[in-house]
Structure 1
């Protein structure tokens, strides 16, 4: 994985348990959340991989875990990327549209199978003039969320190009893909069914997991992000188990974060190409 579990260098002091704020009660994941559609899911198992469960169960009791995955959110302008992230992070929906300039950053804390886990959510600009700036933040993603408007067919057509742009900076074999249709509260059931069918076909083609949500009503938003957190956590642990070539996970879940580049990126000014 581009953002993977690893032991922090000795020069970086390990935080005590009291320094790590607990996850909110609605961010605690004890079982694998269900997918939206079995036809367009990354996998359809209803439980975590047994090796992941074992890794979390057998980790050293004195080990403090602080694991981070980078998630980038891309898509056309005004499809609802910022509203989607804001609805989950703050529980609020704003009717006042304000275009993202460059990139916005949110950090959300979870607890997965008893292990603290963070998602770095990078909400990128959809306007062409900011695309150069936003693309500098694509590198190192563990998950990519491609957002489109269920009521705007062109935004679904453009989803493929957004994905291609994001994948130029990442290893296709190590990134989880999600295709998310927003504004589910608008349009008739018949119209939504037709668009969802097209989206599922695209998801099957690009090997992404499809979700339809509404940031306005909140329908599906929390379930979606819990699913993202659970799947990225699972992929992270499995990747580290494979890298170390051992099923003994006592030392795998330790203090961890992004690569040096990702540690610096939050406070770094992007240089336009």
Structure 2
């Protein structure tokens, strides 16, 4: 495997991600919250940015796009259905499209919910999904534009990826998300352990992102909305999965 994945902290709590192919020298960036830390990482490693993939239009994911394009001449890729709110795109993509980066597949997933037109990218060779503000570490994005049904569809698609997929999400929200998750499933042993580990990581100034999909499925309350034990925990044993998800999302919004 020639791919290297680098997590870059940006702004106050954002993350961007670099994927570098050593065989070709090509480097891809997923989301561009700001210019300086991304450029510093590239320059320190002697890498040239060739591709820039955007998940959605919010400023804390696209602020650095134009500066980085000017500096490196990279190809900018984003969702066709969100193109009117994104920086100029060299390649507009739709869910179901498959792109090539340095000879590796990049699959495009619909990820509506947080926004309409949000997309996620999955690179099988890197075993990584770049989910922006859809599926997040111990959480999911607030529903600013989409419906609970749309977000549940997004999460269901992402849950179908292999369990060893790294979920590369856009923010360091894990500690706050853990506090909410424990209020919903206080007896979940995996969740208790993850919350403890999260506290230790943050106390040491370490990242909690990316995270394994298998860990999210065991601990993230939003992914667990379809499970009998979660439905029992929220007293919704006879409700549909999307309805349970919607109730958990409302509870988080008011937590």
Q: Taking structure 1 as the reference length, what is the TM-score of the superposition?
A: 0.26
Greater fraction strand: 2
Task: Using CA pairs under 8 Å that are at least 6 residues apart, name the structure with larger relative contact order, 1 or 2.
Answer: 1
